[in-house]
Amino acid sequence: MAITREFLKHQLICGKKMEDPDLVATNLSPAGVKDLLRKDLDARDPWNISSCEYEQKRLHAIMELCLGGRTLGDVLEIGCAAGALTERLSIYSQSLTVVELMTEAIAKAQERVNNSDIIWHEQDVCQMDLNAKYDTIICTEVLYYIHEKERLRGALENIVQLLRSDGQFIFGSPRNAVCRSWGHLFGAEAVLELAQSRLRIVDLRRINGGLPGQDCVIAKLTRR
pLDDT value, residue 18: 37
Q: Would the pLDDT of 44 be above 80?
A: no
Q: Would the pLDDT of 41 be above 70?
A: yes
Q: What is the pTM of this model?
A: 0.86
Give the model's confidence band at 73: pLDDT under 50 very low, under 70 low, under 90 confident, else very high: very high
Lowest mean pLDDT among 14-18, 196-200, 220-224: 14-18
pLDDT value, residue 48: 72
Give the model's confidence band at 191: pLDDT under 50 very low, under 70 low, under 90 confident, else very high: very high
Q: Tell me the torsion sign for CA atoms 81, 84, 87, 89.
A: negative
Number of domains in the chain: 1
Give the model's confidence band at 46: pLDDT under 50 very low, under 70 low, under 90 confident, else very high: low
Average pLDDT over residues 81-91: 93
Q: Which ranges in the chain belong to alpha helices (H)? A: 5-8, 30-41, 53-67, 84-92, 103-113, 149-162, 176-181, 188-195
The whole domain housing 88 covers 5-223
Amino acid at 100: E
The conformational region for residue 73 under phi > 0 = left, psi -120 to 50 = alpha, else beta, is left
Average pLDDT over residues 141-145: 93
Average pLDDT of the chain to the nearest whole number: 85
Three-state secondary structure readout of 30-67: HHHHHHHHHHHHCCCCHHHCCCCHHHHHHHHHHHHHHH
Q: Would the pLDDT of 15 be above 80?
A: no
Query: Euclidean distance between the first and final Cα of the chain, in Å?
Result: 38
CATH number at residue 15: 3.40.50.150
Q: Would the pLDDT of 4 be above 90?
A: no
Lowest mean pLDDT among 45-54, 114-123, 138-147, 161-170: 45-54
Q: Would the pLDDT of 161 be above 70?
A: yes
Cα 169 to Cα 185: distance, rounded to the nearest angstrom: 22
CA distance to 75, 86, 87, per residue, from 92 (Å): 9, 10, 10
Q: Beta strand pairing status for 215-223 and 199-208?
A: antiparallel
